[in-house]
A and B are shown apart, each in its own frame.
Chain A
Amino acid sequence: MIQAIAPFLLIFPIVGALINGFFGRRIQNTGGPNKGELVSGWIGTLMSFAAFGVAIALFLALRNDYGPHIVTLFDWFNVGDFHVPWEMQIDRLSSVMLLVVTGVGSLIHIYAIGYMHGDKNFARFFTYLNLFMFFMLILVTGSSYLVLFVGWEGVGLASFLLIGFWFDKNRKIDGVYEGVLNSNASRKAFVANRFGDLFMILAMSLMFWTFGSMQFEEVFAAATHGFEAGDKSLPLILTLITLFLLLGATGKSAQIPFFVWLPDAMAGPTPVSALMHAATMVTSGIYLLVRSNVLLEIVRESGYELFGLVTTPELVAMTGAITALYAGLIAMTQFDIKKVLAYSTVSQLGFMIAAVGMGAYVAAMFHLVTHAFFKALLFMGAGSVIHGMEHGHHHLHDHGHGHDDHHDHGEADGHHVVAAAVHGHHDESSHDSAVVTHTAAAHDDHADHHVEDDFDPQDMRYMGNIKKYMPWTTTVYIIGALALSGIVPFAGFWSKDEILAHASFNFNGGDGGWIFRVVTWLLTAAAICTAFYMGRQLKMVFFGHERHEATYHASESNRHMVAPLVVLAVLSLLGGILNFPYFSEADATASLGHYAEPYESCGDGKIRECFSGGHGDSHGDDAHGDADTHAADDSHSDDAHAEDAAHGDDHSEAHDYGINLALEHWLEPALQSFELTEEHIVHLPHTAQSVQWRVAIQSTILAVLALCASFFFVYRGFNSESRKADDIDPLFTVPILSSFLTGMQRLPLDTLYMGVLRPIFNAFSWFCGIILDWDFYHDFVHEQLIRAPYLWFSGFVSKTLDRGLLDGGLVLGVGKLLRGFSGIYKNFQSGYVRNYALGLFLGVVGLVLYFILG
C-alpha cells in the first residue's frame, strides 16, 4: 500500500500549485475582483489536506512495520554502474516529519485564506504555498542526500518568493519603500542560504567521493562497515562531512553564523512566517542532522577532534546552545511582535540542534514537533493581532481624517479589504475598484500620507490591553506563550525538559564531558530568557492599558483565522503526550521489562531481532514471536492514539499504559544509532527515561520566576492611561538595569564576531552602528566584512587585473588601470588589439615554457 500511495504526497501539492499557477488569477477574479478567492484558497488547502490524508495513511501503515520503504518514482541519473533513482524513503522518521509538515501546513493554509483575504495576488500566494509543500515533502521523503538537496533548494526558492511576496508595497519606512526592504530581505535570505548550500554540496561531494553513493542507507552502511573495519581515514572524512552538514544546517535552520536572514524574513506575510520560518522549513536542518545520526555517532565514538578541540557532535551541541542563549537575549530587546518570535525561533532551533549534538535525537524531534505546534500558533496569533491593530488604525484613520483615502491607504498596507469586509464600512465595489485600478499616483499620494503618521501595526509599544478587544486570540496566544516558556503541563515543558534532562543526566551521571556541562548551563539560561521575553510580550501586547488610539478599535479576526488557532492551541496544550516520560525509574523498569536502558525497549531481550526485522524487508516483523512483540506493538498502537489525539482527529483518551515515551518507541527503528549502540559499535548518550525531578522543578521554578519578573518589571508604571506609546519603557531608565538592557540590545557587538576584533573595529563600528540598526549589527559584519571586500576583489579582478593588466597588457597597464576606472571601455581603438595580442603571446610563452621546461 505504501508503494501505491506515497507518490500522491508529491502529486497533490504540485497539482494544487499548477492549478493555482495557471488558472488561479482567473479563478480568483471570477465574477469580479477577488470574488472567487475562496475557491482558489480552498483548492490549495484541500490539496494540502489530501497530502495530510496520505501522511496519516502512511503513518497507520507504518504502525506494525519498521520500514524503511523505498518507493522508486523514476530513474534520475544513470551513469554506468552509478544510479541515482528518484526514490522516496518512507520510514518512521520521515512519517513524523510528514505529519508535522502536512498537518500544521494544512492548518496554516486555512488561516491564510483569512489572512490574505482581499490581496490582489491571492492565487499567487497559494501557488507558492503549495509549491513550498511540494518541495518540503521532497525534502523529507528523499532517500538520498541528492534528492533531499533538491527539496532543500526548492524550499529555499519558495522561501525567497514568499518573503518578497509584497515586493510592491509602497509604504515608505525611513525614506525607503517597504517593497524594496521586502525584496532586500528575500535576497538576503537567498544569499545566506546559498552559503549554507555550498557546504551541503561539499558534504555531498565528499560523501560521494568516499562512499560512491549518496543514498542514506548505503552511506550509513558503508560508514558503519568502514568504522568496524577500523578504517584509519574514516574519522577525519566523517568529521568533515558532518561539519559541512552542520554548516549546511546552520544556513537553513538559522543558527550562528548564518542566522541573520531569519529576522529579516519576517517581511513575508505572517502565514509564511508561521509555516516556513517557524514550523517546517527551518527545521529541515534538524531533520538533516537527525537523519545523519549514524555519521555523528560514529564521529563521537571515534573521538576525532576537529583541530584537536572538539568533536563535531560537540560542535553541533555548542553551536545550538550558544545560538539558543544568544538569540534568546536579543529577543528580550525587540519591539516588533514578529521579530521577538523570530529570535525566539532561532533560539528554539538552537535547543533542537543542541539536542542533536548531545545525541538526544528523539528529544530533538519531540521539541521539533511541539515547537511546530506552539510557534505556528504564536505566529498566527501575532498575525491576528497585527490584523486587529491595522483594522483599528483604519477605523481611526477614517474617522479622524474625514476624507475617503481609505483605499489607497489600505492597499499599500496589503490587506485593507479585510478591515472593510469584516466591518462593512465601505461597499465592496469601491474596494474592488481600488484593488484593480490602483495607480502609481495613488501610491504616491498614499506614501506621502504615511510619512506624517508613523504608526506601525507590528510595534508592541502601540499595543496594550488587546485582551479586551480580541478575546479568542488572547486566550490561544497565552496558551502558546506558556507552552513556549515551558510551564507545566503545556507541550513545551515536556519537550524542553527532555533536552535539559538529557544534558544534565549526562554530565551528572554519564561520561558526557565538559561540553554537556556547558550546554546545560547555556540552555538553562536560554530557557530563562524564553520565559522572560514571552512574559514581556504578553504584558506589552495583551495586558496593561491601551497606549495608542488604534487599539481601541481593534477587533477579533475572522473565522478562517481563529479556527486553526484553536486547533493549534489544543495541540500545544496536549502535545506533551507524544513523549510522556515515566515518573520514576521504577515505573520505567516495570513497563519496559528488565531493561531500563532508554533504547532497549523493543522487546524482552530480543532487540536484535526487532531491529533486524525493521531493517530487512518490510514484512520482516512476521518473524517476531507474540511475546516478543507484545510490548512493542502495544506501545506503537498507543503511540498512534497519541499522535491522532495530537492531530485533532481522535480525541479518545490515551491509554494509561504504554503512552510513555511513545515518540521514542516510534522513532527507534528509524534511528540506526540505537541499533549500533546495541551492537556496541557506537555509544549513544543515554536519555533519561523518567522525569528528572531536580531538573524539572528547577526549570519550572526559573521559568515561573522569569515570567513573574517580566510581568513585574516590563512597562512598570505604564498602567496609567496617561502614558503613551512614545514614552520610553521605564525599565530602560533604571540606572544599572538600563545599561544592562541597552547592552543586550547591543549584545552582538560584544560577543562572537567582534569579541576579539572589537578594539580594532570599535571606531569603525560606532560609525556603522549609527547608520545601521544596533540589533542587526551582524549586517555590518556581513555587508562590510564579507560583501565589500568581495565586491572590491571582484572589481579589482575585473577592472584592474582583467582589463588593466591583461587587457591593457603590462606596457599600458598603469594608464589602462586609471582609464579602466573611468569606465570608458568602449573607446577602444585598434591599438588595444595589440595589447590583446600581447596578452595572447604571453600566454603562448607561458605554455611553451611549461611544456619544454616543466
Chain B
Amino acid sequence: MQFVEPTLNLSVILPIIILTFSTLLLMFVDFWVPDERKDITGWLSLFPLGGALTATFFQWDTIKGAFNSSVLQDNFSTYLSILYLITGMLSVLISIGYIRKRGHGRSEYYFLMLFSLVGMMLMGMANDLLIVFLALELLSIPLYIMSGFDRTDLNSEESALKYFLLGAFSSGFLVFGIALIYGAVGSTALPDIAEGIATSGTVGLAGIAMLLVGFMFKVGTVPFHMWTPDVYQGAPTSVTAFMSVGAKVAGFAALMRVLISSMGSMDEKWIPALAVIAAATMIVGNIAALTQTNIKRLLAYSSIAHAGYILMAVTASTKSDDGVGAALFYMMTYMFTNLGAFAAVMAMERFSGNKQLDLDDYKGMGKHNFAFAIVMMLLMFSLTGIPLTGGFVGKFYVFKTALEADLVWLVIIAALTSVVSAFYYMRVVFNMFMFDGEIDMPTVPNALKLVMAVAAIATLVLGVLPADWYTIAQNALMTTGG
C-alpha cells in the first residue's frame, strides 16, 4: 500500500469558496438588517455572486483538477458556472420586491438561493459520481425549501412536499445507480468508469439506467416530468423561474459530463434511449401545453418541451462535434428567455383575489402597456424559435447537430413540435394585441423591469449576432482527464 498525497488545487474551487464564505458572512451581516428592510440583504447578496463571477472569468481557458481529480475545472464547467451566476443575479433581482410583497420578506430566501447555486456550480465540475450526488443534493435541498417558501399558501406547501418526496425518490435511484456502477467497475471516478464500463456487463448497464433516471428527473423529461407542472405552478414564481433555469441546466451539465466523458464508449446503447425520451418529451411537453390556461403551467410544459430540445443535442453529442456547443448555446438562450418570461409573469401577478395568472388576463396588454407587451412578444417569439431571436438560433444549432448525427427522424419530430409550440406561445401574443380587455397591472418594480430589459436585449443580441457567442459555447469543451 502506498499513500498518495491528494492534490488540493484550491484555485479550482475558488469561486465556490468565495460564494460559500461570503454567503456565510452575509448571514451574520443580516443580523443587523431590520426585519422590515430585508430587501437590503437581497441587494447585498449580489456581492457574493459578483465576486464569484469575477473569479470564474479568470478561470477561462485553464484546465485543472483538484481533490484527486474528483473536481475538474475546464471551459465546460467555467461556462456553466457563468450561466449559473448570471441566473443567480437575475433571480435575486426578480425576487427582491416580489418576496417582500408576498409577505415573506425573509432573508433566508437569498441564502438558500446562494447555497443552491454552490451545488449547481459543483455539478458542472464534478468528475466523480459521489461529487455528483453531493452536488445534486446541495442544489436540491434548498430548492425544496424555497418551493414551500410561501408558507401561508397551500399550493406552495403542496408543491414543496411533492417536489421533496419525488426528488428523494429519484435520488434513491441515483444512489442505487452509483452503487451498481461501483460494484461493476470498482470506482466512482469518471475516468476509471470510462475504462471499465464497456466490460462491466449487466450490473453496469443497470447502473447507467438508474443514473439516467436521477438526471432525467432533475431536467424533467418524459416520463419523469410529472412533478414539473404542479411544482412550477405552486411554487412562488421567482422560485419557479430560478428552478426552471438553474436546476435544469445543472441536471444537463452532470448528465453531459457523465455520459460523454465516462460512457462515451457505450453510446450505441444510450443514444436510442435518449432519442426516444427526447422525442417523447418534445411531443408531450408541446401538446400538453396547448390546452393550458394558466401561464405558469403553460411555461412549465414549455420548459419540459425545451428540455427535450436540449436532450436532442445531448443525444447527438458523441456523433457530432458541435453537440455540446449546441446544447450549451441553447441553454444560454433558454436562460435569458425563460427568466425574462417569468419576470413578465411576475410583473402581472397579484397576491390576493384574482392572481392574474390566466392567459385571459393578458388581453388588451398591447394597448395598456406597449413596452411590456413588445418584450413579452419578443420572448414568446424566442421560445417559439422565430428568426432574429436567440431561440431560433439555438434551435438552428440543435437541429443542425442532430442532423449531423443522422438523427433525421428526431429532427422531423422536433420541427413538427416546434410548429405546434407556435400555437400556444402565439396565444399569449394574440391575447395581448388582438383582444381588448381590462388590464389591472400592479406597479412593476424597477429591478423587474431591468431583468426584462436584459432578457429582451440578450435575446435579440443572441438572435441577430450569434456568431461570437456561439464560438464561446463551442470552446466550452470538457476534458476527460484530470
Question: Which residue of A79, A153, A798, A843 is within 8 Å of B224 (Cβ)?
Answer: A843
Flag whether B403 is at the interface (Cβ < 8 A).
yes
The docked-state distance in angstroms from the alpha carbon of A581 to that of B352 is: 76
Contact (Cβ within 8 A) B415 A851: no
The docked-state distance in angstroms from the alpha carbon of A791 to that of B408 is: 27
Contact (Cβ within 8 A) A844 B470: no
The docked-state distance in angstroms from the alpha carbon of A831 to that of B465 is: 50
The docked-state distance in angstroms from the alpha carbon of A195 to that of B270 is: 34
Contact (Cβ within 8 A) A208 B400: yes
B275 → chain A closest CB, angstroms: 12
Contact (Cβ within 8 A) A164 B434: yes
Chain A residue with the shortest CB-CB distance to B329: A79
The docked-state distance in angstroms from the alpha carbon of A208 to that of B401 is: 12
Chain A residue with the shortest CB-CB distance to B230: A828
Contact (Cβ within 8 A) B212 A847: yes
Question: Which residue of A78, A837, A843 is within 8 Å of B470 (Cβ)?
Answer: A78
With a CB–CB cut-off of 8 A, which chain A residues contact B230?
828
Contact (Cβ within 8 A) A209 B403: yes
Question: Which residue of B169, B272, B288, B393 is within 8 Å of A797 (Cβ)?
Answer: B288
Chain A residue with the shortest CB-CB distance to B422: A194
Interface centre among A74, A186, A848, by most B CB within 10 Å? A848
Interface of A is mostly: helix
Contact (Cβ within 8 A) A836 B419: no
Contact (Cβ within 8 A) A852 B205: yes
With a CB–CB cut-off of 8 A, which chain A residues contact B423?
191
Question: Which residue of B223, B290, B415, B422 is within 8 Å of A839 (Cβ)?
Answer: B223
B-contact bits for A379-416, CB 8 A (1 contact / 0 none): 00000000000000000000000000000000000000
The docked-state distance in angstroms from the alpha carbon of A209 to that of B419 is: 20
With a CB–CB cut-off of 8 A, which chain B residues contact A652?
none
B-contact bits for A811-854, CB 8 A (1 contact / 0 none): 00000000000000010101001001101101110111011101
Flag whether A190 is at the interface (Cβ < 8 A).
yes
CB within 8 Å of B: which A92-146 residues: none
Q: A797-B288, A833-B165, A848-B209 are in contact. Are A194 and B474 (CB under 8 A)?
A: no
Contact (Cβ within 8 A) B166 A794: no
Flag whether A795 is at the interface (Cβ < 8 A).
yes
Flag whether B100 is at the interface (Cβ < 8 A).
no
Contact (Cβ within 8 A) A806 B226: yes
Chain A residue with the shortest CB-CB distance to B289: A798
CB within 8 Å of B: which A178-196 residues: 179, 183, 186-187, 190-191, 194-195
With a CB–CB cut-off of 8 A, which chain A residues contact B210?
844, 848
Contact (Cβ within 8 A) B288 A76: no
Contact (Cβ within 8 A) B415 A201: yes
Contact (Cβ within 8 A) B434 A186: yes
CB within 8 Å of A: which B369-419 residues: 386-388, 393, 396-397, 399-400, 403, 408, 411-412, 415-416, 419
Q: A77-B393, A798-B288, A851-B208 are in contact. Are A833 and B161 (CB under 8 A)?
A: yes
CB within 8 Å of A: which B425-447 residues: 426, 430, 433-436
Flag whether B322 is at the interface (Cβ < 8 A).
yes
The docked-state distance in angstroms from the alpha carbon of A438 to that of B231 is: 45
Contact (Cβ within 8 A) B415 A840: no
The docked-state distance in angstroms from the alpha carbon of A850 to that of B208 is: 11
Flag whether A442 is at the interface (Cβ < 8 A).
no
A411 → chain B closest CB, angstroms: 15
Flag whether A451 is at the interface (Cβ < 8 A).
no
Contact (Cβ within 8 A) B213 A844: yes
B204 → chain A closest CB, angstroms: 9
The docked-state distance in angstroms from the alpha carbon of A433 to that of B5 is: 86
Flag whether B7 is at the interface (Cβ < 8 A).
no
With a CB–CB cut-off of 8 A, which chain A residues contact B205?
851-852
Interface residues on B, range: 35 or more
Contact (Cβ within 8 A) A850 B209: yes
With a CB–CB cut-off of 8 A, which chain A residues contact B470?
77-79
Contact (Cβ within 8 A) B415 A205: yes
Contact (Cβ within 8 A) A75 B403: no
Number of residues on chain A facing chain B (CB within 8 A): 59
Contact (Cβ within 8 A) A194 B434: no
Question: Which residue of B223, B269, B321, B467 is within 8 Å of A806 (Cβ)?
Answer: B223
Question: Which residue of A202, A795, A840, A852 is within 8 Å of B217 (Cβ)?
Answer: A840
Flag whether B158 is at the interface (Cβ < 8 A).
yes
Contact (Cβ within 8 A) A837 B284: no
Contact (Cβ within 8 A) B434 A187: yes
With a CB–CB cut-off of 8 A, which chain A residues contact B466?
76-77
The docked-state distance in angstroms from the alpha carbon of A148 to that of B477 is: 33
Contact (Cβ within 8 A) A793 B287: yes
CB within 8 Å of B: which A640-684 residues: none
The docked-state distance in angstroms from the alpha carbon of A512 to that of B213 is: 61
With a CB–CB cut-off of 8 A, which chain B residues contact A432?
none
Interface centre among A795, A833, A854, by most B CB within 10 Å? A833
Flag whether A634 is at the interface (Cβ < 8 A).
no
CB within 8 Å of B: which A63-101 residues: 74-80
Q: A168-B436, A852-B202 are in contact. Are A194 and B419 (CB under 8 A)?
A: yes
CB within 8 Å of A: which B309-331 residues: 321-322
Question: Which residue of B206, B283, B397, B465 is within 8 Å of A848 (Cβ)?
Answer: B206
Contact (Cβ within 8 A) A183 B434: yes
A183 → chain B closest CB, angstroms: 4
B161 → chain A closest CB, angstroms: 7
Q: A208-B403, A837-B166 are in contact. Are A153 and B386 (CB under 8 A)?
A: yes
Contact (Cβ within 8 A) A205 B434: no
Flag whether B14 is at the interface (Cβ < 8 A).
no
Q: A187-B430, A794-B291 are in contact. Are A840 and B403 (CB under 8 A)?
A: no
Interface centre among B170, B272, B287, B466, by most A CB within 10 Å? B287
Chain B residue with the shortest CB-CB distance to A803: B288
Contact (Cβ within 8 A) A833 B166: yes
Flag whether B182 is at the interface (Cβ < 8 A).
no
Contact (Cβ within 8 A) B415 A79: no
The docked-state distance in angstroms from the alpha carbon of A807 to that of B226 is: 6
Flag whether A305 is at the interface (Cβ < 8 A).
no
A237 → chain B closest CB, angstroms: 12
Flag whether A167 is at the interface (Cβ < 8 A).
yes
B-contact bits for A779-807, CB 8 A (1 contact / 0 none): 00000000000010111011101100011
A62 → chain B closest CB, angstroms: 28
Contact (Cβ within 8 A) B290 A791: yes
Contact (Cβ within 8 A) A150 B162: no
Flag whether A42 is at the interface (Cβ < 8 A).
no
With a CB–CB cut-off of 8 A, which chain A residues contact B288?
794, 797-798, 802
Q: A828-B230, A844-B209 are in contact. Are A183 and B430 (CB under 8 A)?
A: yes
Flag whether A198 is at the interface (Cβ < 8 A).
yes
With a CB–CB cut-off of 8 A, which chain B residues contact A595?
none
Flag whether B188 is at the interface (Cβ < 8 A).
no
The docked-state distance in angstroms from the alpha carbon of A209 to that of B407 is: 11
Contact (Cβ within 8 A) B287 A150: no
Flag whether A8 is at the interface (Cβ < 8 A).
no
Flag whether A149 is at the interface (Cβ < 8 A).
yes
Chain B residue with the shortest CB-CB distance to A829: B158
Contact (Cβ within 8 A) B287 A794: yes
Flag whether B198 is at the interface (Cβ < 8 A).
no
The docked-state distance in angstroms from the alpha carbon of A222 to that of B275 is: 31
The docked-state distance in angstroms from the alpha carbon of A702 to that of B206 is: 78
The docked-state distance in angstroms from the alpha carbon of A814 to that of B466 is: 49
CB within 8 Å of A: which B214-242 residues: 216-217, 223-224, 226-227, 230
Contact (Cβ within 8 A) B415 A837: no
Chain A residue with the shortest CB-CB distance to B176: A844
Flag whether B8 is at the interface (Cβ < 8 A).
no
Pairs of residues from A and B, 4 with the lowest C-beta to C-beta distance, nearest first = A183-B434, A798-B288, A78-B467, A843-B223
25 A-B contacts, Cβ less than 8 Å apart?
A75-B467, A77-B466, A77-B467, A79-B470, A79-B474, A167-B433, A187-B430, A191-B423, A194-B419, A194-B422, A198-B416, A209-B408, A793-B287, A797-B283, A807-B226, A828-B230, A830-B161, A837-B166, A840-B169, A840-B213, A848-B209, A850-B209, A850-B273, A854-B269, A854-B273
Starting from the known contacts A848-B206, A851-B209, A852-B209, 6 additional A-B residue pairs (CB-CB under 8 Å) come to: A153-B386, A198-B419, A209-B408, A807-B226, A837-B165, A842-B223
